[in-house]
Structure 1
């Protein structure tokens, strides 16, 4: 391209003009949308900003901020993902201010500079030459040395002393939760995914959460007890909701997947042969594809009976069941088939109320309009060659995905349409992925939560005698 000059990050200087930088995106944050407060920018409507971290050598990486219209920023965010090799043309190069408070909210980088891309004045595009393969290995290189690592055992034993600090961890993923939709108290929507990690220093795991959409997408490919993560600048801080000090993924955290260092191979080997663990958080649900334990109704019942304690300590496990649906209450007059919940605090909204009436919730105390959601609460019975599971629950997003309609759309269906939907599922055989919760002293019945269900055309070919008894490994 005429008029621009190829630059390396190592030779870049503040005020450099007409530069072209080539490298790989190693981190991507969520775009943010806001109303402009200064009319001199000449843009009508909403403005948006997106930040990513860009690397062109093992030693050089920098933070890039992109400004523009909402449409432009959303297009850039969707097009240029972690792992994309890109060219940044004619960007604005500025010095980072020492002790800038904003550094708390962006990844730690090696460059003393920062890059700004303004829509219309600069350009980001894919680098399509054969030389792009040169940059791919940079994605697997940790952004700090292994000398900075802390072990999980050290962190857990010194958690209060480490509060408000950032630490570096090398860990193996042990659990990957399903993506959840979160609505903040001011009505903003977010996606969130919980995952858990371990290392060789302790048998304990810690739970972490992903909030960046790009990392939520990438985590779909993570494999429990196989995927190793280098977490640079994980934050130790106080969680007001959990009322304790925890480790968390912060906006400053840089994640390197399966880093190309010997320590990562050693860590994977150390964790690989550990028994599979249930998540430490009983409210965390795994991604259904990571449920691998095939069981029969009889085996599920035996495990529940063997684990019954008669206390409030609850047995929990996850299973794949190949079974037929014998009962499904989609066409019933059950008043609880559809439930209304407050979108902000998740509490039930009674039939004769407009809001949750929760005084700690903005919708419940009247400080904002009620924001309610209709959700499925379906009951069904399952049967295989060894017995029945009665009263299984299919709720929320899982039900909508399985039935192919939202709860609001189902609400408008006529009786004939509901009956037709019901008969699409009755007596057919399914691969059912479920969470099983055992009874306790205060809750006398087991709970079977269906997380995913897909039609299984060859279920008759399975010999249930050949399914490994899950009790053998316990």
Structure 2
């Protein structure tokens, strides 16, 4: 540390005790919540604002810091620093922590104290990384829980609804980070959400939801297929809409990116090996979830118009996208499971040779390299009043979202349950986002992949029966 922050003037977090005066600490911010407003009970009609964060100065010691005040002060304080920055905090009020109340909503800390910042007496300064000891900066990569104290994604899926509502730790790699989606609540407050897809050696894709601005901002800095995260104290829930388990970042959560632990390094090596062996990255992304933003797809077609457009595109290689309002006229869910579910390679997304159980694309043998997972691999027929599109591809995550169940949940169903599931979709008009690629080997000279399939709103569908796509 440079001379500008003389060590003798600083108090270590380990030495804090309630009602201590003239305290000056330095720490790295490892977690932070959004600014929140509450009705001021002393001043009817007015609001008080608060923000809280967690700082750490050594592997064993970190503490929660909170501040209450006017909207201008709290927003200014919050905007002055981010997770990962180092702060000098002068003259905070050192209070005894109310264990039960505090740890219900705030990150659990080893300290029996908490710090309160006062607008009039406390000072918060952001330190340049050049002024701070490297040991302090390195703490951002140290999880706040024991490195082995976590669930794998496969453990969560296997435990299923037994974990519903539980708060646990998760170690996983980042597969993708969704765009922030903005919304307004019923009482007029603005918010945003972001969905992060995680994966590890045991599960190819698992959703983690961020609902507050700070965690959304943090997630945007993660590099897909390069970042590993240790998420401490996330809530596990059963998502009825998707019919699967998900994780949610809450006010107790602290997320450590690229943790410096043996377990994280093993996972990092796993994702690097898989990325390096992926020669056809674009095809992988198409399999996992097409990279196109569905909200940008607006052209509506009938089946006949789509076939005409494909004929005019002959010789061109670029795919094109659109929307269909059709019935699923063929959906083979019951019968042989092997025609519905196929093994794919986690490294490249391609179907594995079932006889050799090896991936011909990656040249990986699953016995030596356990990177095989079961995936939906459906061919569906789509029909409207103008004709039928045969053998359209409905695979992977899109199939799971459409059917409302994971592969493992589907495989556990009885034949009667599979038949009932099939009839939920057959002959029901659906709104389908598609991708069409010309292929001389495919029936009709083109191949259609379903990017999204949901039951259509009748009014919306009736307005679009004639199509409007540019042919």
Task: Please give the TM-score of this superposition, normalised by the length of structure 2.
Answer: 0.59
Output the CA distance in 2 between the equivalents of 1:76 and 1:47: 14
Provide closer, same or farther for how the CA distance between residues 176 and 287 of structure 1 changes in structure 2, counting only shifts above 3 A.
farther
Q: Pairwise mapping of residues 43-442 of structure 1 onto structure 2 (< 5 A)?
A: 45-100=46-101, 102-128=102-128, 130-203=131-204, 205-239=205-239, 246-272=246-272, 273=274, 276=284, 298-300=317-319, 309-310=380-381, 315=394, 437=451
Output the CA distance in 2 between the equivalents of 1:103 and 1:280: 38
CA displacement 1:126-167 (0-9 Å, x = unmatched): 235723544210111111112211111111111222223211
Output the CA distance in 2 between the equivalents of 1:142 and 1:73: 28
Output the CA distance in 2 between the equivalents of 1:261 and 1:124: 31
Output the CA distance in 1 between the equivalents of 2:294 and 2:251: 24
Secondary structure in structure 1 of the residue aligned to 2:83: coil
Secondary structure in structure 2 of the residue aligned to 1:265: helix
8 Å contact 1:163–1:238 — kept in the other structure? yes
Aligned counterpart in structure 1 of residue 41 of structure 2, from 37, 40, 56: 37
Runs of 4+ in 1 over 4 A off after TM superposition: 238-245, 277-288, 311-317, 438-448
8 Å contact 1:88–1:122 — kept in the other structure? yes
Structure 1 unaligned segments of length 5 or more: list them: 289-295, 318-385, 387-434, 449-474
8 Å contact 2:156–2:245 — kept in the other structure? no
Output the CA distance in 2 between the equivalents of 1:137 and 1:200: 27
Q: CA RMSD in A?
A: 4.3
8 Å contact 1:316–1:438 — kept in the other structure? no
CA offset at residue 199 of structure 1?
1.1
CA offset at residue 9 of structure 1?
0.5
Secondary structure in structure 1 of the residue aligned to 2:62: strand
Secondary structure in structure 2 of the residue aligned to 1:202: coil
Q: How many residue pairs end up in the alignment?
A: 322
8 Å contact 2:191–2:212 — kept in the other structure? no
Secondary structure in structure 2 of the residue aligned to 1:136: helix
Secondary structure in structure 2 of the residue aligned to 1:7: coil
Provide closer, same or farther for how the CA distance between residues 153 and 308 of structure 1 changes in structure 2, counting only shifts above 3 A.
closer
Secondary structure in structure 2 of the residue aligned to 1:207: strand
Secondary structure in structure 2 of the residue aligned to 1:214: helix
CA offset at residue 97 of structure 1?
2.1
CA displacement 1:352-396 (0-9 Å, x = unmatched): xxxxxxxxxxxxxxxxxxxxxxxxxxxxxxxxxx9xxxxxxxxxx
Structure 2 unaligned segments of length 5 or more: list them: 279-283, 297-314, 324-376, 384-391, 397-438, 440-448
Residue 390 of structure 1 corresponds to none
Residue 13 of structure 2 corresponds to 9
CA offset at residue 58 of structure 1?
0.8
Residue 26 of structure 1 corresponds to 30
Provide closer, same or farther for how the CA distance between residues 314 and 127 of structure 1 changes in structure 2, counting only shifts above 3 A.
same
Secondary structure in structure 1 of the residue aligned to 2:234: strand
Provide closer, same or farther for how the CA distance between residues 150 and 186 of structure 1 changes in structure 2, counting only shifts above 3 A.
same
CA offset at residue 212 of structure 1?
2.7
CA offset at residue 241 of structure 1?
6.2
CA offset at residue 261 of structure 1?
1.8
Provide closer, same or farther for how the CA distance between residues 186 and 223 of structure 1 changes in structure 2, counting only shifts above 3 A.
same
CA offset at residue 271 of structure 1?
2.9
Secondary structure in structure 1 of the residue aligned to 2:99: coil
Residue 336 of structure 1 corresponds to none
Output the CA distance in 2 between the equivalents of 1:134 and 1:75: 28
Output the CA distance in 2 between the equivalents of 1:243 and 1:316: 17
Secondary structure in structure 2 of the residue aligned to 1:298: coil
Output the CA distance in 1 between the equivalents of 2:454 and 2:47: 52
Output the CA distance in 1 between the equivalents of 2:134 and 2:295: 32
8 Å contact 1:159–1:236 — kept in the other structure? no
